[in-house]
Every structure is written in structure tokens, then in C-alpha cells.
Structure 1
Amino acid sequence: MHRESKATKDVVVIGAGVVGLSTAIRIQEEGGYRATVVAETFPTDPKTIRYASHWAGAHHVSAAFDDKRQREMDKGTFEIMWKDSAHGGPIQGCFLRHNHTEFRSDGVDPTEWLDYMPEFRSVSNNELVPGATRGWTFTTFTLYPPVYLNWLLGRFLTNGGTIVRAQLQHISQAMHGGISGLPQRPDAIVACVGLGARFLGGIEDKEVYPVRGQSIVLKAPWVKYSRTLSCADGSYFYMMPRVTGDVLVGGIKSANDWFPIPRKEGRDYILAGVLAICPELAPPKIRAERVPTIDDLRPLIVEEGCALPPSRNGGIRLETEWFKASPQSKIPVVYNYGHAGMGFQSSWGSASIALDLLEEALASGEPNTSKGTKQGACP
């Protein structure tokens, strides 16, 4: 519900990935704010390694482990997206609800952070795939990132939001009206800058690093379910269907690896891994005649991709830092970045926390170090 009684304040959101757009919408729809999103890349642009959201698998399977904050963010986001994915919902054509099975041989039991999922149950031994010692199944969904991201952008603009295309070198450029189209003196900034947090002047968070992922899109419309396998040796494979009839498959997560394009050796590794957990990826005619091989999957390849999701030592950064905007004034900067590969599945949850931080900062009117806020300076 909008709170029309409070004075309208200008907020600049840096970043137009799924986290930035969700946060901008959450702030905007709270009421009392004029939101401007400034970013180098938007969902309407061609895919680029500098914009991780386009490459996401975007299925909702929480991996929160013992992080209670992450669990709450993931669950809150699932509840919102589950409603959006319902038949007759605003973007039902973007979502595909389906059965998912989580196979593991690493000794981890995900029940504590997944048991809220619809139809959650453990699987029997005869349902296990090769390499798995336990498994759990439930209903979830995948969403199609290009459509969903553009829907978010359209929702933001329809509600009166403003976008500005710019490459910031320093966060102070968003504070002093140094970029055409931005407010001359915003009341607050929300930094949803992803991997850019490592390089953007004034933030330069060296705890942020990429976890390189490589994926393959297969045209396999006969597959309508998803599976993952987490092994004791650290290997991990996944396959997830989309509403388009494609199936996204992957199995590479490499920390601090900046290589920006798919590696050939990664392709065969992924295809072999996902074929082992889902032979049904091969065309039905081939499976009826013989045991399929990875060569049977190659003609199904639609696209290969590579992304650099922004991970962070210590988890998602959700806190406020006050910057000296002038000799007489300070401005709060709310941070919301470091989601690793969990940007979509925690987007609305982290956006709500960012809004709470923003409202607390603007209500206080000054830094409150007793609540853990930080203070910085801008040139």
C-alpha cells in the first residue's frame, strides 16, 4: 500500500539486473519515492558478460543451508513468484511450473530450508540417479529471464520510474548530479551493482568475486521436469526446462574465474554429467533404439553461454553507509549486492530488506553508528 502522506523523496538505484529492478519497484510501490535507475546495461540490450541476469537458469531451488536470512529472502521471493506464475497471472507465459528432484551424495539434507516447497517429499532408493545417495522432490518453477527482466523494466516505467544509461566511475557521480538525467541532489542511493561493487569508486569491495558458470541450452520440449545432482567431490550438475521448450543444462562453478566465453572442454563435461542424471534429454527415437551418448545431444544445442555471477565473502551485503555529500550534508547509500547465483530466487526478499534499510536511514536523518551503519566520504 502506498503511503501518500510522507514527502516524496528522490532515490537513485544503481544497477538494472534482477536485483536492481526488483529493488527499484519495491521502493517505488511503497509510495513517497521517485525512483531513478541508472545502469550501463538494461534488459533490452544484447546479452553481454557484463550483465549476469540474462544468463541465469532462474529456477527456484533454495541453497540457503544454515543462513537464516537467506532462507527468509528465498521463501519470501518464492511466495511472490509463485503467485505470479499462476494461471491467469500477469506473466504466466514466462513461468513453467514443474516437478524438481534434488539428488545429493554430499551428506547434505536440504529439508530444513526446502520443506515449504509444494509437494515436498524424500524419494525412494529406486528413484535415485547414478551417483546419488539421497533425493528430495517437490514442485517449483523456472522463469525465462529475457521476458521476466523486460516485464520488470516495463512495470517500473509504467509506474512512473525513470531510467538513465550511464557508466559510473565513482558513486559520487550519482550524488552530485554529475550524470545527465539524474536528480541533482538525491535523498538516497541504493547500490545493486553486482560484480561492479569490486570496481566502482567509493565502494571497491574486494570481498566480491565472480563464480563463473557455463551453461548450454538444448531444444528438448519433451522434458518437463528438472533435476540437480550435488556430489561429495564438489561436482554439480543441473538441468531445468523452460516455457520455451528449451532445457538449460550446466555443471560448472569456478570461483575467481574471469574467462568470458564458453570453454570447449566444459561443453563435453556438462553434456556427460547431465546425460547421466537425465538420459531422457536425448530424443525419444534414439532412446528407443539404443543407449544415448553426448553426441546425440549436440544437434539439440541452441546456445552456449557463460556468466560471472557476483559472489561475496560474508554473503549478500545488505547495510547502509553514509557518505559526505557536501560540507553540510550526508547521504545514505543502501547496499544490496553479492547474490552469487541466487539473484532471482532472493530478489524480492532482499529488495524488502533494502527498503527497510532505506526507510530507517531516511527517518533517522543522520548516521546511527549504534545500529551498525558505516560512514564514508566522496571526493
Structure 2
Amino acid sequence: MSIVILGAGVVGLSAAVLLQSQYPDRKITILTKVHPAGDLSAVNDEDYASNKAGAVWSTSADDQYPHVRGFCEATYHALWQLARRPELAIMRISTYELKPERPEGWTPPYVSAFAHDFRIVDREPLFGSGSYFGVHYKTTTVNVGKYLKVLADLFVSRGGHIVVRGVRHIDEALDYDEDVRVVINCTGYGAHFLGGVDDQNVYPIRGQIVLVKAPWVCMRISMGWGPKAMTYMIPREDGTLILGGTYEANERDIQPNPRTADAIIERCKVLYPELVPADGSQLDIITTVAGLRPARKGGVRVEGETIVRNERSILLVHNYGHGGYGFVASWGCADRVYQLVEEFLHSRRIEGAGSSLAGFLERVEGIFDNASQE
């Protein structure tokens, strides 16, 4: 009995290694257009977003889609625990989410119930000459290239198969071999075009960022959301810093715009004057990239359906539509996938993170505990 996973972004890889840890004797295959263990910095594919992600855990699911909050909260706890493992390139940082003024009717975000060191910032002089309203809490940021490679290498080292192959119709996964019992659809933006799924609620949100070398910046700062632009800085454990960004719904151009890059840098300098090197030199710009957040009207879709194929019952689990919170919700969604698979294969209900946080964290950390013993 084999399992096929479509997609090798953070959503697909998280599901793959979690399922593999729970079903070590099953054949698990990932079908993907992009091999995640390669040089992801050179990948420029509109269907592959994970290599261009800011990958900071933030409150991005707070406003639009309340049903996603449980996945995000679980992932917050998982990433916080996994940050103790240096090989995963996860860093714990402080974050400030700010606005020029306190919005009318503002209430604390859901993260206030569980995030470390949460507090409200109200007209505190923080940096430069700015004085803002917002929140502070401790969170995590991920160096995506290193992190995705660790997950992919771990998956392969335990007998998993990664096949570089584009899939145009869901039938190609359902009929991949005669032993397929479970298919996990983690195609992101590709779900819009995938035959047999054709989810027209999936749409792209273009994001452009600038990557610079700035090891003296060790906290994340974000300033509000505009109609198409936002301002933020996200540090990584290797001393690089992401400057952002844009938020352009239904824009598909993945070529970076130089004028947009210049505007991003200038906004970040205004927000955080300390970004400018102390010796007055120019910022060390590494690269500028643009990618597509795979968003979905109605929010992420994590649900299963049973399909009868040549007198075989196959579970098809959809796990896509994460928009800008793929890393933010990855482990929570992966655990929900595992619950659906376990119910299908063994008619056994598993308590997820919402019911048993300790059990969930044990499952996630167990993936890497076993790796250290091999």
C-alpha cells in the first residue's frame, strides 16, 4: 500500500516526513516539478513558492480565515520547539507588528493567547524617531533553502522517493501504481490548473522581496498592509535579511521589478533607520526575487474524499490554498493530513494539536529525534 504526494514545497514536505515517520513500512513517493534538495536559489517557477518565502511565523491568518488559526497555532509551537535543532536553520526572534495609529475597534490578535512575551506596543519610541501602535511577541524565522533541503534529504534517507515530474491531472497520481491507497494534493497554486481538481478559488498573490546582508538586524518588523505594498524586515540565522514587500493579488509576473526593489529598500530605511550600515556604506544587496503566494478564496483547504478506482478505495486529501502562511501553518496542516489518513487506513481517530498539543509535538519532534539516532 503506497502513498503519493503531489508537491514538494514546505506543505508537501512537512506532510511527507510526518507520514513517513508514522508509516515507516509504506512506500511514499513525492511527485514534483522542482526537486527540493537542489539549488533552490536558482528555481524560478510560478508553481513553486516555498523557496522565495519570508518564512516568519506571524499572525497572517488572524483576520480573514479564523478556521486556519488552529493549524497556525500548532505550527507556532512546533517551530518554537524545533528551533533548538541548529541543523534546521530556525531562529527565535522578537517581532514587532506595527501600525501608525491604533485602529478603531482594535482587539488583540489570537496570538496573544499563546505567543511568548506578547505585549501591546502603544506609542513606545522603538527605533529611529518612530512612535507606533502594535504588538510585540517572540516568534521564529526559517532559512528556507537549508530547511527544505533538510526535510528532503531526511525523507530520501528513509526510503522516500522524489520523482521530478509535472502532473497535469489528478488521475496521474491516483493511477501512479497499483498499490496506491492515499494521495495527498499539495500543489499550491497548481491546484487551479490541476485536472480533476480545477479549483477556481485558487489565485496568485505576487510578492517581491530584496535579500541583503545585515547581520546586525536581529528582529522582525512589519508595518501594516497597504492595497499592494507592505513594509517588513525578516532576519535569518545566517546574517541575511529579507526586505519586503508587495501584495499584488492576481498578478502572475515572477520577474522582479527594479523600481519596486528600490521602493522596498527606501521604505525599510524609513521604518528602521538602523538598517543603514553604521559606516555609511551602501547595503550589501544579494538578490531580488518575486514569487506567487498560492492563495485561495475561503482559505486553506485541508479535507479528504474517498475515490473508488478499479474496485480500490483511495483517499484523496487536499492540502493547499495557504497563501502567505505555508510555513506558518505547515505542521498543523500536516498533522491534520495524518489524522485523515489514519482514520481511512485504520478507522482510528487521532487527537490532533487542538485536542492534544503534547501528542502533536511528540509526533513532530519524533521525526528529528529518530534522525539523530540513525
TM interval, short-chain normalised: 0.7 to 0.9
1:106–1:176 CA distance, 2 compared to 1 (3 A):
farther
Q: Deviations over 1:163-188 (max 9, x none)?
A: 211111211112223xxxxx333011
1:75–1:217 CA distance, 2 compared to 1 (3 A):
same
One-letter amino acid of the counterpart of residue 121, structure 2: V
Question: Distance between the aligned counterparts of 1:234 and 1:111, measured in 2?
Answer: 22
Question: Distance between the aligned counterparts of 2:165 and 2:325, measured in 1?
Answer: 26
Q: Who is 1:356 aligned against?
A: 339
Q: TM-score, normalised by structure 2?
A: 0.84
1:37–1:231 CA distance, 2 compared to 1 (3 A):
closer
Q: Who is 1:161 aligned against?
A: 160
1:26 aligns with 2:18: yes
1:133–1:39 CA distance, 2 compared to 1 (3 A):
same
Tell which deviates more after alignment, 345-354 or 115-124.
Answer: 115-124
Query: Retained in 2: the 8 A contact 1:13–1:192?
Result: yes
Question: Distance between the aligned counterparts of 2:312 and 2:178, measured in 1?
Answer: 14
Query: Retained in 2: the 8 A contact 1:223–1:241?
Result: yes
Tell which deviates more after alignment, 208-217 or 122-131.
Answer: 122-131
One-letter amino acid of the counterpart of residue 250, structure 1: G
Q: Who is 2:244 aligned against?
A: 250
1:103 aligns with one of 66, 73, 98: 98
Map 1:335-354; keep pairs closer than 5 Å. Answer: 335-354=318-337
Q: Who is 2:134 aligned against?
A: 135
2:68 aligns with one of 62, 67, 70: 70
Question: Distance between the aligned counterparts of 2:34 and 2:165, measured in 1?
Answer: 8
1:47 aligns with 2:43: yes
Question: Distance between the aligned counterparts of 1:363 and 1:334, measured in 2?
Answer: 16
One-letter amino acid of the counterpart of residue 39, structure 1: T
Query: Retained in 1: the 8 A contact 2:44–2:254?
Result: no
Q: Who is 1:125 aligned against?
A: 123
Map 1:286-305; keep pairs closer than 5 Å. Answer: 286=280, 297=282, 299-305=283-289
Q: Who is 1:175 aligned against?
A: 174
Q: SS in structure 1 opposite 2:69? A: helix
Q: Who is 2:2 aligned against?
A: 10
Question: Distance between the aligned counterparts of 1:305 and 1:252, measured in 2?
Answer: 11
Q: SS in structure 2 opposite 1:244? A: coil
Q: SS in structure 1 opposite 2:274? A: helix
User: Alpha-carbon deviation of 1:281?
Assistant: 0.8
CA RMSD across the alignment: 2.2
One-letter amino acid of the counterpart of residue 47, structure 1: V
2:81 aligns with one of 80, 83, 96: 83
Q: SS in structure 1 opposite 2:2? A: strand
Tell which deviates more after alignment, 244-253 or 105-114.
Answer: 105-114
Question: Distance between the aligned counterparts of 1:231 and 1:58, measured in 2?
Answer: 17
User: Alpha-carbon deviation of 1:111?
Assistant: 3.2
Q: TM-score, normalised by structure 1?
A: 0.83
Query: Retained in 1: the 8 A contact 2:228–2:248?
Result: no
One-letter amino acid of the counterpart of residue 58, structure 2: V
Tell me the percent identity.
33
- The number of residue pairs the alignment matches comes to 338
Q: Who is 2:368 aligned against?
A: none
Q: Who is 2:317 aligned against?
A: 334
Question: Distance between the aligned counterparts of 1:335 and 1:106, measured in 2?
Answer: 38
Query: Retained in 1: the 8 A contact 2:55–2:328?
Result: yes
Query: Retained in 2: the 8 A contact 1:62–1:114?
Result: no
Query: Retained in 1: the 8 A contact 2:102–2:134?
Result: no
Query: Retained in 2: the 8 A contact 1:103–1:128?
Result: no
1:199 aligns with one of 178, 193, 200: 193
Query: Retained in 1: the 8 A contact 2:96–2:220?
Result: yes
Following TM superposition, where does structure 1 have runs of at least 4 consecutive aligned residues deviating by more than 6 angstroms?
Answer: 129-132
User: Alpha-carbon deviation of 1:159?
Assistant: 2.4
User: Alpha-carbon deviation of 1:69?
Assistant: 3.2
Q: Deviations over 1:190-220 (max 9, x none)?
A: 1000111011111111110110000001111
Q: Deviations over 1:287-316 (max 9, x none)?
A: xxxxxxxxx65x421100001110000100
Q: Who is 2:365 aligned against?
A: none
1:314–1:218 CA distance, 2 compared to 1 (3 A):
same
Q: Deviations over 1:329-367 (max 9, x none)?
A: 3422100001001001110000111111222233469xx
Map 1:275-294; keep pairs closer than 5 Å. Answer: 275-286=269-280
Question: Distance between the aligned counterparts of 2:26 and 2:237, measured in 1?
Answer: 35
Question: Distance between the aligned counterparts of 2:163 and 2:228, measured in 1?
Answer: 42
Query: Retained in 1: the 8 A contact 2:54–2:242?
Result: yes
Tell which deviates more after alignment, 339-348 or 73-82.
Answer: 73-82
Question: Distance between the aligned counterparts of 2:228 and 2:126, measured in 1?
Answer: 18
- Gaps spanning 5+ residues in structure 2: where? 349-374
User: Alpha-carbon deviation of 1:324?
Assistant: 3.8
Rg (Cα) greater in structure: 1
